[in-house]
Structure 1
Amino acid sequence: MTVTDARTGLDDELITISDPRTGEPVGSLPAASATAVADACRRSEAAFPGWARVAPSERGAALAEAATVLEKHADELAALTQRETGKPYDDARGGVLAGVGTLRQYAELGPLHQGERLAGAVGAVDYSVPEPRGVVAVITPWNDPVAIACGLVGAALVTGNTVLHKPSERCPHVGERLGELLEPVFPADVLRTLTGGGETGAALVSQPHVAMIAHVGSTATGERISRAAALTGAHVIRENGGNDALIVDAGVDAAWAASQAALGSFANSGQICTSVERIFVHDDIADAFIAALCAEARERNDGGELGPLVDERMRREVHEQLTASVAEGARVLVGGEIPSGPGSAYPATVVVDCAADLPLFGEETFGPIAAVQRVASFEDALAAASADRYGLAATVLTDSLAHAERAAAELPVGTVKVNAVFGGAPGGSAEPRGASGTGFGYGPRLLDEMTRLKVVHMGRAEVAS
């Protein structure tokens, strides 16, 4: 179906969203056409020189104002996020407030971002200075839509770039409303929102006006973006899929380890890029661990703690991975059945006897499934956890300092966590490995990604006599 968008006068495809909790309609929005994308890119490019000349302190002040606006509308955006993605309200509101905090962080860090004084020849002055890249295309996912968008958009704007933000087509109303709130804080065309799906995104990343692409989402989409950017020369950073391992070492408390595994596997119904995907538990505590993990899953299912998966398509993909794995030898101990009724709910599920070549272990599963493999030793667990094409994050639960140090040194991932599946200092920046992406996607070093470094050498002029 097509409609004429009154804002652009262009015929655009409609994106229609249903509430994943109830199946009831949320609404429809037009997807920006290729013509609309090209026009937005030209406008963004035209706005770039003026915004780049604004003093960093003023850009930081604008970002702080944007944070205040966002905070005032936290309840509204949380409710809208819940309606579009099924994310529980408190979690959704926490994501909005995380976005507020990120904007404020970059409002302070941006004006402090600096080059270096270099050691040159005597009598000369040498230094480096970061400069904004130009138009930055920011493409963000649905599973934490406000927080992730604020990080990438905030870092790009505070360093003097203009931004074209394409939110996920799975939460277009959240993205549209976020744009309506934040765009007026900045000069015209410095920040623009482009609603749409894959075709809109493809049109955006192929634009010659785009100097940089920042993407958080699936590996398949990230790889397509990289191929498109190879033709335009755009700089790309991307945080993509993960297949994160959890190693449960002998000697730790089985109930505590199970609570960590459940948190990692079931938080946000497993719809987090750093969810626990593969669990390797030492034989010495495997029986007690699995029993406790099953109890954790049943408690969540009985209490109705989990929100639904984002839509029926996601639920179908998750269940197909489970079904294929069971057909190849895995066993379901808890959950694993699609519930009756409206919406796209899926239960917390525990699966054992998972071999490395099963779909549940070989690919990212964006759902609440805890997939378990027993191992004979820590060495076996470390080798199995490392044998994967993804490289986002991994966790080890151990009482051995030597094992913790080995895991940190040998796991081929961007982030290693010891004795906690989530958490980390706010100043951290990590680079994913392998199929999980490339570049710094958060933290202070994201400011480096958003800029290019220019080196200046100033010699001494000879004065005419």
Structure 2
Amino acid sequence: MLTVLDPRTGDTVAQVPIADADDCNGAVHRAHAAAPSWRRTPAAERAAALTAAAAAVREAAAELADLNERETGKTRDDALGGVDASAGTLVQYAELGPVHRGRSLHGSWQATDLMIPEPRGVVAVLTPWNDPVAVAAGLLGAALVTGNTVVHKPSERCPLTGRRFAELVAAHLPPGVLEIVDGDGSTGARLAAAENVDVVAHVGSSNTGSAIALACARRGAKALLENGGNDALIVDVGTDPQWAAEQAALGSFANAGQICVSVERIYVVGSVAESFTDALVEQAGEWASRIGPLVDERQREQVHHHVTDAAQTGATVLTGGERQPGPGTFYPPTVLTDCTPDMLVFREETFGPVAPIRCVPDFATALAEASNDRYGLGATVLTPDMSHAQDAWRSLPVGTVKINAVFGGAPGGASEPRGASGSGFGFGPELLDEMTATKVVHWSPPGA
């Protein structure tokens, strides 16, 4: 049984049964049985179903936001923003799906040669808790519009939010096209190993992603993975320290630091370090009343363990760094200085409102240290120097490089994470390619 506690109060929100082997096998069987009919459904009809689902999601925005607040501690604005993004994503894939196309090839005059994308079959979608509606919309939308059927397992930390969103989508689809199972890591492992699951799409921790990749490799299934990150922020000389601190605070403290591309480690170059650090401490004080709690006590313990490790090995805690008394799993915005690469806050993903700072002598050192990491999700560089910006985006071994902005980007952008952060496109039109397999057809007349 999954017990979900409200991270603001500690009160029980729900108890949800964990799907057993029979439940998982039944869901996969129904999705597998529904696949032949769904793949034959015209792309425009599949798109229309997603468009209708997007409208239903918008109508249920308050309900979904309320569930998300209660299960994960998201602020109301963030929760509503996630719902709005999810509806927009469903519409985006409804528009992209019917124009997803293959290629014609130039062979002999008598023959027709084609490259045609086809649905892969059954997709197991395993989604996270930190943005459960928006992330699910992308993976579900791309899988469904390309003719796949789906078994969706929401995170065990927000089963009510994840299930309700999937139910709103499934209401506009034929039976079996979108199945939903509740459970924990053992449930996800069953789906990853299931014989008739053709793709496992996962957003979550690197350890879980590695286990999924291994399970898929054993039976020839496709693994589509966005795992953890340890995103660096470089603050170059010549950068306005106040503005840089505002960017750093946004990247470190938004959603209590629980964003896949949160700033996890900060490198400050030379003379700007002192003024930047003072401004960031001030920013931490302003953010203290704006963030919600961490998702649960387990996450708060991890964050505090990273902070404690840093303090015990030479870092200085300038603000924050203590678990707050009272109900809930709140943790204050925390700024650390004198950090070194061997500390947990620099080596691993903290996933909390912590801004660890390392002062370095020059930009080349910052770039080299930022690049020396097993993760490869994203990085940000704040610099007025064009040559430094060019060196950064060309050198950093990550999927996304942001110059002079910690968040943002054009709609439809898609990147591939590197290293321990996963593999494959998780967004944009390219996600349609991930959800399909290309078949070559060579068609000649008899006797040619």
Bucket of the pairwise TM-score, normalised by the shorter protein: over 0.9
Match of 1:283 among 238, 249, 270: 270
Please give the residue correspondences for 1:290-369 in structure 2 after superposition, counting only pairs within 5 Å.
Answer: 290-301=277-288, 304-369=289-354
Match of 1:51 among 26, 34, 38: 38
Alignment check: 8 A CA contact 2:50 2:169 kept: no
Segment of structure 1 superposing worse, 329-338 or 115-124: 115-124
Q: Distance in 2 between matches of 1:413 and 1:182?
A: 33
Deviation at 1:240, TM superposition (A): 0.6
2:191 match: 204
Match of 2:73 among 61, 86, 93: 86
Q: Distance in 2 between matches of 1:396 and 1:440?
A: 23
1:128 match: 115
Alignment check: 8 A CA contact 2:253 2:333 kept: yes
* CA offset digits 1:143-200 (Å, max 9, x no partner): 0000000100000000000000000000011112122222121000100111100111
In structure 2, the residue corresponding to 1:452 is in which secondary structure?
strand
Q: Distance in 2 between matches of 1:156 and 1:276?
A: 30
Matched, 1:118 2:105: yes
Alignment check: 8 A CA contact 1:207 1:232 kept: no
In structure 2, the residue corresponding to 1:294 is in which secondary structure?
helix
Structure 2 gap segments, 5+ residues each: none
Aligned identity (percent) is 57
Deviation at 1:334, TM superposition (A): 0.7
2:19 match: 32
Q: Distance in 2 between matches of 1:199 and 1:124?
A: 50
Matched, 1:64 2:30: no
In structure 2, the residue corresponding to 1:210 is in which secondary structure?
coil
The AA in structure 1 aligned to 2:39 is A
Deviation at 1:458, TM superposition (A): 1.6
In structure 2, the residue corresponding to 1:396 is in which secondary structure?
strand
Alignment check: 8 A CA contact 2:16 2:159 kept: yes
2:231 match: 244
Matched, 1:261 2:261: no
Q: Distance in 1 between matches of 2:262 and 2:148?
A: 32
* CA offset digits 1:222-259 (Å, max 9, x no partner): 00111111112110110010000001000010000000
In structure 2, the residue corresponding to 1:416 is in which secondary structure?
strand
1:222 match: 209
1:171 match: 158
The AA in structure 1 aligned to 2:254 is A
1:429 match: 414
Deviation at 1:123, TM superposition (A): 2.8
CA RMSD, aligned part only? 0.8
* CA offset digits 1:268-288 (Å, max 9, x no partner): 000011000010001110000
Q: Distance in 2 between matches of 1:300 and 1:261?
A: 12
* CA offset digits 1:78-110 (Å, max 9, x no partner): 011000000001100100110000000000000
1:6 match: none
Match of 1:387 among 368, 372, 386: 372
In structure 1, the residue corresponding to 2:414 is in which secondary structure?
coil
1:438 match: 423
1:10 match: none
Report the TM-score, using the length of structure 2 for normalisation.
0.99
Deviation at 1:16, TM superposition (A): 1.0
Number of positions where the alignment pairs a residue of Structure 1 with one of Structure 2:
448
Alignment check: 8 A CA contact 1:44 1:162 kept: yes
Q: Distance in 2 between matches of 1:59 and 1:182?
A: 12
